[in-house]
Amino acid sequence: MSSNNNQPVLEDVSVIVAGQGGDGSLTVITMLAELFRHSGLNVYTERDVLSRIRGGHAAATMRAFTGEKYCIGSNITLLLALDQEAVEKNAWQLDSKSIVVYDDSGGPVPPDLLPEGIRLYAAPFNRIAMRTMRRELYKNSIAFGVVGRLLGLEDESIRETFTKRFQRMGQVILEYNLEALGLGLHLADEMGIHEGEGLYRIEHATPEERLLIIGNESVAFGFMAAGGRFFTGYPITPSSEVLETLQKWLPRCGGVARQTEDELAAINMAIGASLTGTRTMVATSGPGFSLMQEGIGHSGSAEVPMVIVDCQRSGPSTGMPTKPEQSDLNLMVFGGHGDFPRIVLTPGHPEDCFYLAAQATNLADKYQCPVYIAMDQAISQNIATVKPFDLDGLAVETGKRLEKEDLEKLDAYKRYELTEDNISPFAAPGTPGGMSLVTGNEHDEWGLVSTDPENRIRMMNKRMDKIELARNELPRARHFGDPDGEIGFIGTGMLFGVILEAIEILDNDGLKAQYLQPRTIWPVLEDILEFIDKCSRVYVVELNAQAQLAHLLIHQGADSGKLLNILRYDGIPFRPGELVKRVFEEESRFMDNQKREAKAQ
């Protein structure tokens, strides 16, 4: 193998593969991710698909990099466009330094579509696939040869990854794909892109142990690791992988994961399981989350522990099922009829999903109330490299439980006993001496239905005050950037990586900024309010139309005069560069306003 040392070392590339749904964009991206991970790089991927199996524009993006990054970058290195629409839909992400590999089976790419000076490699992948293999299906494997060479990957390692990926699907499929890859590599030679002469040199580091995982899988394992043993769900994008992962793994350790007939059954079956003292979780999204509201309120009032994963997608109603949004915040914090306690945690990366899921499982058991994990489609489904989870550091705390021997020592066992910390000890069905009543009706300490006004006040206060007690141990926000930075950022979920990178860019542009990533959004903890206090203004970046997070913070005492909103609800994830542009626009508007106000005085 020849190697040219003049090529730059690959430190940060972003690749988009786009075509029609079913073209295999996601497969190409996933294989690229595996290849780069094997070369010791970290990766982050993103998908942009429609809610259908075939057809319609579909794209996937992968970023491979050294060091730590948590989003797709601002600059796209290479676009593999399997048709013209792929160029039209993604041109906005390209600049003059980008490279386009284009399938020109259907004709050349219209020149005005691409930024000036862009490097274009065109080849008829589709036509070659049809001519040689009689199947359009193989065009992405042919194109892989060209893209792999351009990115500096070695032929042999590409073959290995192909073998690993397609072996599962049978020998025939593997052979066809390897043949197609061979055609692609041959084609690359013809185009003058020889092995070892790509755009980059990949410095093979000893790969650190990294999992290649999506947030939904990670959340499933956090739950399992914290003793979670019962899960129910109904398939819904983008939460289905939580169900699929747990259906595969939970039964192995004696747990149960069940697909129910609807979300009403899912939440109520979970409640039934939780009543037996089993650690239980449900996962859903959008419409399913709305359907679960009654059950979640019941879990709050009957004091039945429950973890609810909400993989937020674009709403309302059926909305845009495959697009990320953060518009269920109001429903998580204020949803359900009546007053009941709840906790809302929010991870910013697939890695954090594991730890917060474990913590949510502990908290639900301890405080006997619903605990949400607020995800968004990107956190749920983007694939990222993640350090193996720290199981030794994982705290598994149990709630207040009474066994037979404990019960024997008691004069009386009351399921809803009023206690100093407002948490009533729990005896699981099957335990002698622990017979008790659980109900969502207002009840007395025994669990017997009661409308007595004084009892009502005591019981309501008991439930609501549990959250005050929980405050001390809820996950704190993480702070990044310059602690003296004038402007601040607050954002959750997938925006974590984007804001983190945006403040770096701002810093290079001379604007000192700091970022607070809340990991608990209900109750609102003091750390968020203190952060707002010390910044001169704070951009609350959110994926929704109503600025739900900003309003929540104002409701909890934040100075509304300091908060500026950057909102997005078009279904497209932010790139750091775009966010920076939006910030500068807002900044100049802000400065103009200041001047105008100063003049008016």
Partner 1 sequence: MTTQPHTKTFTPSRPIWCAGCGDFAVKGVLEKSLQNMGVAPHNLMLLAGIGCSGTIQNNIECYGYHALHGRVLPAAIGAKLANPDLTVVAAGGDGDGYAIGAGHLVHTFKSNPSITYIVMNNSNYGLTKGQASPTSPTGYRDNAEEGMDAIMLGLSLPSTTFLARGFSGNPEQLEKLMDAALEHTGSGKGFAFLEVLSPCVTYYDTHRDWRARVYNLDEDEGFDPSNRTLAFGRVLELREEGRIPIGRIYKGEHASLESLIVNRDELPPAQQKIGKNGHGKHYEKFIKSYLG
Q: Which is nearer to partner 1, 408 or 509 (CB)?
A: 408
Q: Which is nearer to partner 1, 224 or 558 (CB)?
A: 224
DSSP 131: I
Q: What is the CA radius of gyration of the chain?
A: 27
Query: Under a CB-based contact definition with an 8 Å cutoff, are residues 565 and 550 in contact?
Result: yes
Query: Under a CB-based contact definition with an 8 Å cutoff, are residues 282 and 231 in contact?
Result: yes
**Closest CB 564 distance from partner 1, rounded Å:** 40
148-169 CB burial, b ≥16 within 10 A, e <16? bbbbbbbbebbeebbeebbeee
Cα 160 to chain center, whole Å? 29
Query: Got the DSSP string for 150-166?
Result: HTT--HHHHHHHHHHHH
Q: Which is nearer to partner 1, 449 or 591 (CB)?
A: 449
**Closest CB 311 distance from partner 1, rounded Å:** 19
Q: Which is nearer to partner 1, 396 or 591 (CB)?
A: 396
Cα 184 to chain center, whole Å? 34
Q: Which residues neighbour 526 within 8 Å (Cβ) at sequence distance 6 or greater?
A: none
CA distance 314 to 344: 19
**Closest CB 80 distance from partner 1, rounded Å:** 22
501-512 CB burial, b ≥16 within 10 A, e <16? bbbbbbeeeebe
Q: Which is nearer to partner 1, 114 or 270 (CB)?
A: 270
Beta pairing, strands 487-490 & 537-542: parallel
Q: Which is nearer to partner 1, 392 or 597 (CB)?
A: 392
CA distance 258 to 269: 9
**Closest CB 124 distance from partner 1, rounded Å:** 33
Cis peptide before 316 (omega within 30 of 0): yes
Q: Which is nearer to partner 1, 22 or 399 (CB)?
A: 399
Q: Which is nearer to partner 1, 210 or 562 (CB)?
A: 210
**Closest CB 240 distance from partner 1, rounded Å:** 18
**Closest CB 272 distance from partner 1, rounded Å:** 3
Grouping H, G, I as helix, E, B as strand and the rest as coil, residue 435 is: coil
CA distance 251 to 274: 17
**Closest CB 268 distance from partner 1, rounded Å:** 4
Q: Which is nearer to partner 1, 96 or 441 (CB)?
A: 441
**Closest CB 16 distance from partner 1, rounded Å:** 23
**Closest CB 248 distance from partner 1, rounded Å:** 9
DSSP 201: B
Q: Where are the beta strands (DSSP E) in 82-139?
A: 99-103, 119-123
